[in-house]
Structure 1
Amino acid sequence: MSTTKTTQAAAPAVEVDRSRDLSQPLEKLAPEESLKFHSDYLAGTIATDLVDEITRAVDENNNKLMKFHGIYQQDDRDLRDERRQQKLEPYFTFMLRGRLPGGVCTPEQWLKIDELGRLHGNDQFRLTTRQTFQFHYLDRNALREVMIGLRDVGLDGKAACGDVARTVMSGVHPGLSKLHKQVYEQARIASDHVIHKTSAYEEVWFGEKPATPRGDDEEPFYGKQYMPRKFKIGFAVPPSNDIDIYSQDLGFVAIASRGKLKGFNVVIGGGMGRTDRAPETYPRLGDVIGFIEVDQLVPTLDAVMGVQRDYGDRVTRSHARFKYTIDDKGLPFIKGEIERRLGFALAPAKRFRFDSNGDQLGWTTGDDGLEHFTLFIESGRIIDRGERRLLTGLRAIAQAGLCVFRLTPNQSVILSDVAPEDRPKVDALLAEHGIDNVPTKGRSALRLNSMACVAMPTCGLAMAEAERYLPDLITKIEGLLETHGLTEEPITIRMTGCPNGCARPYIAEIALTGRAPGKYNLYLGAGFHGQRLNKMVRENVGEDVILEVLDETLGAYAKDRQDGERFGDFVIRAGFVAEVTEGRFFND
């Protein structure tokens, strides 16, 4: 990439004709467009539904609107058949996801999350791949209490789901803490800027009725129809690509000089979701289109999101993400339209380098002299299991006020900003609760570079297990790794219960996406730090075939790899899979 620096003065985004939103009659658009338009800015009839005593569920339209408030209706898949036989409705519960820009969480907030998880979330909560937390198993009658509890500590569920900009991610590696704090501040600014403004959230959950009816100025950016689909934003700090910047609709790669943030390279058009047997859907990696100064961040947010708001497909939901808008219109057109709205041309992109997308586990010392401990949490589940009492141990650390909690994009947590004299206290509390302060001890590098989505039993889209199955599968793969002398070799592996890609599987060196109970598509060949897509090598296969393929490829890798060659690079060079250079060719 070019290292030529072009300084541009920040300019306000130009006025844009919003009429494209309604360029076709609502009845010709996807049903969700009409629903949003007539929803009274996301209020719907949610408040009425919440007190319906006939069912545990909510109306399907309100279920869709509640996603904008951070809530998904789910049912316990483990009980579905039994309840069907008993002629009972599914056992409906709810998942609530919080908004947590950059994954930063104070001890007070952690204690509230812990309290709500114990009271309403089946004595647990979960860390997600977007650096936030979510509760499962919530009863409908508990939703308001949880929302109020979150508000008491400055948290909310706004935009955690729905057709809006989702919770904003930010690189968290503590070893470069001064720079990361600068980038986090920009991520927080971005999150506050792109959040939807409707008063419906406060009215539904807290009974705070607006002084006047919601009018045309309620959502000055989004309008009545919001975005065509979800829109994901993230900030990466090289050399770590922990947020998987190329999977974001809009990404910002931090460019610094001597520890001071100078600006960002802008990345657009990433996205993971696809549908099996629908070759017109595919994952896509983002394109780097230029560089902006720090003070150009907010106008760039408006310009890029505005292009997708106005040009995104509102007829076909499966074709509505920004990645398809770019491929349909062409990258030169999209970049030109972004620059037109900005009122200036983007500067050439600056040089940067990524070398990993995982977490640096264990203790590290930041450049501010503070200590930081990154704790590996398999699949992000915060729960007490046997002697390893994660839920209780982390609560004890929060009660002692020894750290700030930082959630990582890899579903782990950093106990950050620990004073050097307090490090022994943290170690003692970890040990007291059966939590090893050497996360790499007894775990293969493959396991430490693994991620899984929730899948069964709560996700309605899941066709196969993920979180509950991947640890056991990795144990069997570890036997192969030991046979081939690869136990310490870092290899990324990710599993999802369906093809939607919530754990970003299509940029893992080994990936499995669910097709049916016990059956998965197997993919190989992505880049180690998320810079290349993988390729399917087996379709709809079970564990025996998965282990057979991995035994063959891992064995060849152990025997024939070059110095420093990653597994994903090797399987391409050795001819096991073809290299995927663009998302449009993913299904070829």
Structure 2
Amino acid sequence: MTEKLPEAEQIKQQSDYLRGTILQGLQDRATGALPDNDTKLTKFHGSYQQDDRDVRDERRRQKLEPLYQFMVRLRLPGGVLSSRQWLGLDRIADECANSTLRLTTRQTFQFHGIFKEKMQTFMAMVNELGLDTRGACGDVNRNVISNVNPELSHLHREIHELSQAISDRLRWRSGAYGEVWLGEERVAALGEEEEPFYGYKYLPRKFKIALAVPPENDCDVFANDIGLIAIVEDGRIEGFNVVVGGGMGLTYGDPGTYPRLATMAGYVPKSRIVDACQAICAIQRDFGCRTNRAHARFKYTIDDYGMDWFRERFAEYHGRGFEPARSFSLTSNGDRFGWVEGEDGKQHLTLLIPTGRVADTEAGGPIRAGLRKIAENHDGDFRITCNQNLVIAGVSPEHKPKIDALVAEYGLDAGHRRTPLRQHSMACVALPTCGLAMAESERFLPGFIDRIERLMAEEGLEPDAINIRITGCPNGCARPYLGEIALTGKAVGKYNLYLGADFSGQRMNRLYRENIDVDTILDTLRPLFRAYGEQRQAGEHFGDFLVRSGVVEAERTPAMLHKAMK
């Protein structure tokens, strides 16, 4: 039977609960890389092996191996950390990585440029901060994301506690993490007891969970395998509407792969929501496709078996079924910048961090130095948003002037230094480190926005809040299929252009033009901007205008994400 499974499934099942030979590979100084099978396993430990593609050709000419290095993500449910932890991670960036931190769309940190000989030091330093990287990547439940909600402090506290509880319940348990990274001794061969939930197979593919508090959809709740939409009554979270089967990736040329918005399943009371998430994850564990990795996400399980089947399985696994869904309204999915006063009197400041990159650069300014200084003077916490921005949260009124002074001194952006268009743009890392990237994304976005703003000005438009998403490939890390305007990389300098999502993350876009260069993209957008300026209704967003005016249809099918209109 094992021979018929894809290589990834065989590696998991033969890995001795994610140990493989990672430890031996780390000790091999003859190469900067790990054995190929172990690179599949290190993903479960939160790490991807990469190489610097900017120097790949030059190293090949010099007959050197690629400049192997590792990207590592943290498990940080709800995106909350203390000032002490921020300062510790800032120190790690210098001692072990490339002197930058990156805030991700999954509300956590991503470190780049970690060489193999620094990996165990990196992991040990993270552990000393009370943090870990377990399950930030791999075929398990990934980092649980949630609404940051700075105004209603008691709701944020509830949501954050639930995100932590769900993450802890679905965290993989094997002793491999402590043995490989922290020097712990193996106690015994525990077999199935070592992974009581996942077993030796783990999940067929990655699994993602998000929690939203209406009317805000800052986590793009419908883009997740499980989306939990809080139902708030009399100021308290009573329970959640549960949506299932969301996911953003597709494979070019394979119409059997497609992004999908999650489908409403029903309502679950708050007291049972952690158990409900475990039951749903178990359904995917037991019924998800393991023979075709491209078909292994939960969205395909839902489409293969149907929602009636899923609801029956949920009642079986959970011990009781869904209740009817409650009414809710989602109106936006961006961040509110600047100061907000919470109900507890504490102040919360949301800062724009362009593409989530925390670094000191000539172009971007001393962002990292400024945030380090704030952390040294901040008595509250930090909250990473799902849009790659940062909330300086829980500021005492007497400390607010000091934070304001530091923001001004270091030129940080509280939402007034950049246009609404830039505030609502997002990009994945892509080149030079991501091995999947086909085109630029993070490095491309600033210049692209410059050209979009010039184009809009030429057509008499203000640089409005249009949701722009760019990724270097079709896998969807920056959730491009929810952008009013979105680009996915096809080749260096070439992109697919997607149009027509809504502004609140409840309607996907569709493929409009395929494999075109930037000049063609701008030429395509020019008449659409002109029509938008002339015909838009009061308060109408760009994506809604494109649907109302018939530029793109309101309907979305998998084929529309693969077949261009023109």
- Asked whether the 8 Å contact 2:496–2:511 carries over to 1, the reply is yes
Tell me the residue number matched to 2:384: 407
Say which SS state the counterpart of residue 180 (structure 2) adopts. Answer: helix
Matched, 1:394 2:394: no
Greater RCO between the two (CA within 8 Å, min separation 6)?
Answer: 1
CA distance in 2, matches of 1:480, 1:353: 34
Task: Tell me the alpha carbon deviations over residues 430-470 of structure 1, each in whole angstroms, 9 at most, x when there is no partner.
Answer: 2222224x4233x2211110000000000000000000001
CA distance in 2, matches of 1:527, 1:403: 35
- Asked whether the 8 Å contact 2:510–2:560 carries over to 1, the reply is no
Matched, 1:587 2:562: yes
Amino acid at match of 2:251: T
Matched, 1:178 2:154: yes
Amino acid at match of 2:497: L
Matched, 1:558 2:533: yes
Matched, 1:339 2:315: yes
CA distance in 1, matches of 2:238, 2:530: 45
Match of 2:237 among 257, 261, 268: 261
CA distance in 2, matches of 1:461, 1:106: 33
Say which SS state the counterpart of residue 262 (structure 1) adopts. Answer: strand
- Asked whether the 8 Å contact 1:494–1:504 carries over to 2, the reply is yes
Aligned-pair identity in percent equals 50
Q: Shift of the alpha carbon at 1:173?
A: 2.3
Shift in CA distance, 295/583, structure 1 to aligned 2, threshold 3 Å: farther
Amino acid at match of 1:314: R
Task: Tell me the alpha carbon deviations over residues 334-378 of structure 1, each in whole angstroms, 9 at most, x when there is no partner.
Answer: 122112211212111111111100000111111111100000011
CA distance in 1, matches of 2:415, 2:380: 18
Match of 2:128 among 152, 170, 193: 152
Q: Which moved more, 1:84-93 or 1:130-139?
A: 84-93
Task: Tell me the alpha carbon deviations over residues 107-146 of structure 1, each in whole angstroms, 9 at most, x when there is no partner.
Answer: 1110111001122222111000000001100011111111
Tell me the residue number matched to 1:239: 215
Tell me the residue number matched to 2:170: 194
- Asked whether the 8 Å contact 1:285–1:582 carries over to 2, the reply is no
Matched, 1:214 2:190: yes
Q: Shift of the alpha carbon at 1:86?
A: 1.5
CA distance in 2, matches of 1:581, 1:291: 25
Matched, 1:312 2:288: yes
Task: Tell me the alpha carbon deviations over residues 169-203 of structure 1, each in whole angstroms, 9 at most, x when there is no partner.
Answer: 01002022221211111111101110001110000
Match of 1:248 among 203, 224, 236: 224
Match of 1:230 among 206, 209, 215: 206
Match of 1:95 among 62, 68, 71: 71
Say which SS state the counterpart of residue 191 (structure 2) adopts. Answer: coil
Q: Which moved more, 1:346-355 or 1:567-576?
A: 567-576
Structure 2 regions of 5+ residues with no counterpart?
none
Show the 5 A alignment for 1:51-62.
51-62=27-38
Say which SS state the counterpart of residue 175 (structure 1) adopts. Answer: coil
Matched, 1:69 2:45: yes
Show the 5 A alignment for 1:111-130.
111-130=87-106
Show the 5 A alignment for 1:442-453.
443-453=418-428
- Asked whether the 8 Å contact 2:162–2:274 carries over to 1, the reply is no
Tell me the residue number matched to 2:404: 427
- Asked whether the 8 Å contact 1:534–1:579 carries over to 2, the reply is no
Tell me the residue number matched to 2:470: 495
* TM-score with structure 2 setting the length: 0.98
Say which SS state the counterpart of residue 43 (structure 2) adopts. Answer: helix
CA distance in 1, matches of 2:447, 2:42: 35
Amino acid at match of 1:490: A
Q: Which moved more, 1:293-302 or 1:150-159?
A: 293-302
Amino acid at match of 1:548: D
Amino acid at match of 1:388: G
Task: Tell me the alpha carbon deviations over residues 374-423 of structure 1, each in whole angstroms, 9 at most, x when there is no partner.
Answer: 00011000001237211111111111233310000000000000011111
CA distance in 1, matches of 2:158, 2:402: 29
Q: Shift of the alpha carbon at 1:489?
A: 2.2
CA distance in 1, matches of 2:199, 2:159: 29
Match of 2:437 among 454, 462, 466: 462
Tell me the residue number matched to 2:523: 548
Matched, 1:570 2:517: no
Matched, 1:110 2:113: no
Tell me the residue number matched to 1:138: 114
Tell me the residue number matched to 1:29: 5
Tell me the residue number matched to 1:20: none
Amino acid at match of 2:368: L
Matched, 1:290 2:244: no
Say which SS state the counterpart of residue 297 (structure 1) adopts. Answer: helix
Tell me the residue number matched to 1:9: none
Tell me the residue number matched to 1:537: 512
CA distance in 2, matches of 1:339, 1:168: 23
CA distance in 1, matches of 2:34, 2:328: 48
Say which SS state the counterpart of residue 174 (structure 1) adopts. Answer: coil
Amino acid at match of 2:178: E
Amino acid at match of 2:64: L
Say which SS state the counterpart of residue 151 (structure 2) adopts. Answer: helix
Say which SS state the counterpart of residue 514 (structure 1) adopts. Answer: strand
CA distance in 2, matches of 1:336, 1:440: 51
Amino acid at match of 2:406: L
CA distance in 2, matches of 1:273, 1:335: 25
CA distance in 2, matches of 1:352, 1:266: 12
